[in-house]
Amino acid sequence: MTFPLFDLSGRRALVTGSSQGIGHALALGLAEHGASVIINGRNAQKAEAAAKAIREHKGHAVSAAFDVTDAGACRSAIDYIEAEIGPIDILINNAGMQFRMPLETFPVEKWDELFRTNVSSIFYVSQPVAQAMIGRGRGKIINIASVQAELARPNIAPYTATKGAVRNLTRGMATDWAKHGLQVNAIAPGYFKTPLNQALVDDPKFSAWLENRTPAGRWGDVKELVGAVVFLASDASSFVNGHMLMVDGGITASL
């Protein structure tokens, strides 16, 4: 049985920060639904190993190593991909970082690095991708936000600020580009077991708190994000624009 609305066959997806964690799970999920995926990371060997892992699952994948925090590198990489690999139909802006410290002692250089990685990179990659998409009159852009776009916890105020910015940047991108045939949306994951969260996963006190705080009563598995990204990347979401989809086990719905 096939479901044409969710079929991504013949489409090409660039997933930033997809050598591991959420990004790699999303890339694999897109490949399983027919997309050809481009794995991105700063480390060329890790990116190629991640692409090879998808090919071993019978998916179509290549790697493209470039630094998403470097605007010039992004422009050059997108130009190369469009000319030599093929048009980008789907862009997943997943690259991100976290740094935990009380706000009163938070280093200025880490503030700048967080915003460059979590926010500026989305603009650096999306602008050249969108310019090509606009010329074709179609395209899907999905930004990875966070429940921290809506909530705050101690010691992550700058991260929370970046994810709030991602939410509103998504709205702005949709507002500017919907008229050109683009859909721009965001996914807001809750707490998932990823390398970024490993310190929290390994903390019994935090894990117990999270399980009690989350209506679903557990951490999320990165595979549980695939359905959301396939929906937003496919024709099933053709009139969904500027939306942030929470995938959080109910944590933002409950006090």
CB-CB contact of 92 with 23 (8 Å): yes
Residue-by-residue DSSP string for 17-80: T-SSHHHHHHHHHHHHTT-EEEEEES-HHHHHHHHHHHHHTT-EEEEEE--TT-HHHHHHHHHH
Is 159 in the active site?
yes
Which residues lie below 8 Å from residue 76, measured CB to CB, with a gap of 6+?
66
Given the residues 80, 124, 159, 191, the one annotated as active site: 159
CA distances from 237 to 45, 60, 92 (A): 34, 23, 15
Nearest to 255 by CA among 218, 215, 220: 215
Q: Are strands 12-15 and 36-41 parallel, antiparallel or unpaired?
A: parallel
Q: What sign does the dihedral 114-118-120-124 (CA atoms) show?
A: positive
Nearest to 21 by CA among 105, 96, 130: 96
Distance CA 155, CA 152 (A): 9
CA dihedral (190, 191, 195, 199) positive or negative: positive
Catalytic positions, written as ranges: 159
